[in-house]
């Protein structure tokens, strides 16, 4: 057995109530005296509550957070960090908030303390992304990985059911892609498959009772594992496809990932071998991982296709062209070769609805 595994040195504090009882101590550990708080408008009241004990150490509040992190928003956050002479960025919110904080870290090398309120998982990665003129650029830089992450399941209790489902399946996408990512290895497999199982276990409970802190804890635990595994295993076909579509058409980030994931998995399964069976076991059906994923999507109300999350039929040709430019003909490492015709079929199928599953095929054969 031969492999290489690198881990990011991010401190994790996990537990119900942690954001209200541990945050000041974690700021102290980072020796921060000038804190810039980044949170979207909806999360800013929570951010103000959590940061209140920091008193005059808070030197700025930035709330111009948008999905896919437009360059203009990133530049505004960087400007505020410099004007206030901040020595720490405290982000409170979802993946777009974390992404905005990362944008500051990328150019100004400020440490980030992240308090996630969704299941994005990006707080555990060293991946950054910025969007300009309809094109999303991503990169990898260790400086953007948060120094500390405080996971508090209680902060996700107010997350609506549809957003909980989409955000949880976005984390699922990190886990699933980590199974075939270019840096996948036995260590990332352990984290990714444990994350899949935790998300599968927790998401139905969250949808049944949004105040179920145990279920919320399972999903947040899965999100932590998803980001950790993805950071080490690296990005592949799924994330490249979604980055292109999200940047070009401003689609809702989490829901788009949730919709595209089973289609990418269906494409990859013939080349995954034993990895497909292990993924299936984590999803609850060793023989049919795609079917298990589709059934989970149906159970928690994930939209059926990209047409349901804002991609117009008139944009399909352009969507196929853009994705093919990014991923086809050997542009990315992938367990199964992918060409333009494969991209065309995948994007159009993802626009139309759910992929066919083994159960569907068996039913058709029986008929």
- Does residue 218 surpass a pLDDT of 80? yes
pLDDT attached to residue 367: 42
For residue range 121-168, what is the model confidence (pLDDT) as tens digits?
Answer: 999 999 999 999 888 898 999 999 999 999 999 999 999 999 999 999
Sequence length of the chain is: 367
- Does residue 1 surpass a pLDDT of 80? no
What is the arithmetic mean of pLDDT over 49-57?
98
- Does residue 364 surpass a pLDDT of 90? no
pLDDT band of 24, cuts 50, 70, 90: very high
What is the arithmetic mean of pLDDT over 324-329?
88
Question: In angstroms, what CA-CA distances link 230 with 182, 194, 223?
Answer: 10, 13, 10
- Does residue 362 surpass a pLDDT of 70? no
For residue range 101-110, what is the model confidence (pLDDT) as tens digits?
Answer: 999 999 999 9
- Does residue 2 surpass a pLDDT of 80? no
Q: What is the domain class of 161-357 according to CATH? A: mainly alpha
What residue spans in the chain does CATH classification 1.20.1090.10 cover? 161-357
pLDDT attached to residue 195: 98
Whole-prediction pTM value? 0.91
For residue range 290-316, what is the model confidence (pLDDT) as tens digits?
Answer: 999 999 999 999 999 999 999 999 999
Q: Which two tokens stand for residue 198?
A: 């935790």
Check if CATH label 3.40.50.740 holds for domain 11-156. no
What is the arithmetic mean of pLDDT over 78-95?
98
pLDDT attached to residue 361: 55
- Does residue 365 surpass a pLDDT of 90? no
Percent of the chain surpassing pLDDT 90: 89
- Does residue 329 surpass a pLDDT of 90? no
Kindly provide the residue ranges of all beta strands, DSSP E only, lying in the chain, ordered along the sequence. 11-14, 35-38, 58-62, 88-93, 112-116, 127-132, 135-140, 148-151
- Does residue 319 surpass a pLDDT of 80? yes
- Does residue 5 surpass a pLDDT of 80? no
Q: CB-based contacts of 248: which residues, under 8 Å, 6+ apart?
A: 134, 135, 136, 318, 319, 322
pLDDT attached to residue 9: 83
Question: In angstroms, what CA-CA distances link 198 with 9, 220, 263, 305?
Answer: 23, 9, 22, 25
What is the arithmetic mean of pLDDT over 323-332?
87
Q: What average pLDDT is seen over the chain?
A: 94
More confident residue, 6 or 25: 25
Sheet with 11-14: strands ordered across: 11-14, 148-151, 112-116, 88-93, 35-38, 58-62
- Does residue 199 surpass a pLDDT of 70? yes
What residue spans in the chain does CATH classification 3.40.50.1970 cover? 11-156
User: Assign residue 330 a region: left if phi > 0, alpha if psi is -120 to 50, beta otherwise?
Assistant: left
For residue range 237-293, what is the model confidence (pLDDT) as tens digits?
Answer: 999 999 999 999 999 999 999 999 999 999 999 999 999 999 999 999 999 999 999
pLDDT attached to residue 359: 57
Q: Which of 153, 149, 155, 161 is nearest to 122 (CA)?
A: 149
- Does residue 32 surpass a pLDDT of 70? yes
pLDDT attached to residue 83: 98
């Amino acid at each position: 057995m031969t492999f290489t595994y690198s881990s990011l040195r991010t401190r994790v504090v996990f537990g119900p109530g942690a954001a209200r009882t541990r945050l000041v101590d974690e700021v102290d550990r980072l020796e921060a005296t000038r804190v810039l708080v980044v949170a979207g408008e909806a999360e800013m009241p929570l951010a103000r509550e959590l940061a209140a004990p920091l008193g005059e150490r808070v030197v700025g509040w930035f709330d111009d957070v948008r999905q896919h992190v437009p360059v203009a928003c990133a530049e505004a956050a960087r400007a505020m960090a410099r004007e206030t002479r901040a020595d720490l960025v405290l982000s409170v919110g979802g993946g777009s908030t974390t992404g905005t904080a990362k944008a500051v870290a990328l150019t100004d090398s400020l440490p980030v303390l992240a308090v996630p309120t969704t299941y994005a998982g990006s707080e555990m990665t060293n991946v950054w992304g910025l969007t300009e003129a309809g094109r999303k650029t991503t990169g990898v830089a260790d400086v953007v990985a948060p120094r500390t992450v405080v996971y508090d399941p209680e902060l996700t209790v107010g997350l609506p059911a549809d957003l909980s489902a989409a955000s949880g399946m976005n984390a699922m996408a990190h886990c699933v892609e980590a199974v075939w990512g270019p840096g996948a290895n036995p260590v990332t497999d352990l984290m990714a498959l444990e994350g899949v199982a935790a998300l599968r276990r927790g998401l139905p409970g969250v949808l049944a009772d949004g105040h179920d802190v145990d279920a919320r804890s399972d999903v947040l635990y899965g999100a932590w594992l998803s980001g950790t595994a993805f950071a080490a295993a690296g990005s592949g076909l799924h994330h490249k496809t979604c980055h292109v579509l999200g940047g070009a058409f401003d689609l809702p980030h989490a829901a788009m990932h949730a919709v595209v994931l089973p289609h990418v998995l269906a494409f990859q399964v013939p080349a995954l071998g034993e990895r497909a069976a292990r993924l299936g076991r984590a999803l609850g059906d060793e023989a049919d991982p795609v079917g298990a994923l589709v059934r989970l999507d149906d159970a928690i109300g994930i939209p059926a296709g990209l047409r349901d999350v804002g991609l117009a039929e008139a944009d399909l040709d352009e969507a196929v062209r853009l994705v093919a430019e990014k991923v086809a003909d050997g542009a990315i490492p992938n367990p199964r070769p992918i060409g333009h015709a494969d991209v065309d079929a995948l994007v159009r199928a993802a626009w139309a609805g759910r992929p066919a599953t083994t159960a569907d095929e068996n039913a058709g054969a029986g008929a």
